[in-house]
């Protein structure tokens, strides 16, 4: 299963997700533009000394990523749109795409994917933290494989 961050904006979130990817042996894809430098001290601090263990791939844009993608389904995530995540039946070759922290994945982008999922949350809560969301998705998905 691959973790795909589309236009990530916040270094500590990406660092925490990189640490998760290293620990779970999941490839991590970053699709540009990225809102920070990959040498950012906050990114490195959040990822600790696990960066050598991250199977990291950086893509110029989504078209480049999609052209090279050899996995299975590409699954988008949304704060409110799509199928309830509790109904998700994961496959080992799925790629799960998480959008930028400030705006998520747009409706037009989501329409081009194989499936869209969301974590049911209270209506008053706009969204969950990106690193928390990735951890939740991957943990639940791995339990179901």
pLDDT by 10s per residue, the chain, length 145: 999 999 999 998 999 999 999 999 999 999 999 998 887 676 677 656 888 899 999 999 999 999 999 999 999 999 989 999 989 999 999 999 999 999 999 999 999 999 999 999 998 988 899 999 999 999 989 999 8
Number of domains in the chain: 1
Question: What's the burial of 129, exposed, middle or buried (CB within 10 Å: 0-12/13-18/19+)?
Answer: middle
CA distance 140 to 145: 9
Buried b (16+ CB within 10 A) or exposed e, 4-14: bbbbbbbbbbb
What's the domain range around 27?
A: 2-144
pLDDT value of position 113: 97
Helix axes 11-24, 130-144, angle to 10 degrees: 20
Instruction: Using alpha carbons, select from 136, 131, 138, 119 the residue that is nearest to residue 10.
Output: 131
Q: What is the CATH number of the domain that holds 31?
A: 3.40.1280.10
Q: Is 25 left (phi over 0), alpha (psi -120 to 50) or beta?
A: left
Name the DSSP letter for residue 101. Answer: T
């Amino acid at each position: 299963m691959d973790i795909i961050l589309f236009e990530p904006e916040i270094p500590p979130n990406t660092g925490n997700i990189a640490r998760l990817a290293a620990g779970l042996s999941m490839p991590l894809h970053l699709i540009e533009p990225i809102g920070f430098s990959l040498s950012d001290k906050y990114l490195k601090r959040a990822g600790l000394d696990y960066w050598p263990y991250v199977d990291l791939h950086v893509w110029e844009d989504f078209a480049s990523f999609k052209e090279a993608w050899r996995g299975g389904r590409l699954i988008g995530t949304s704060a409110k749109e799509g199928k309830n995540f509790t109904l998700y039946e994961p496959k080992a070759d799925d790629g799960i795409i998480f959008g930028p922290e400030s705006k998520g994945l747009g409706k037009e982008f989501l329409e081009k994917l194989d499936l869209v999922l969301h974590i049911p949350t209270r209506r008053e809560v706009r969204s969950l933290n990106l690193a928390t969301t990735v951890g939740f998705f991957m943990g639940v998905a791995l339990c179901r494989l």
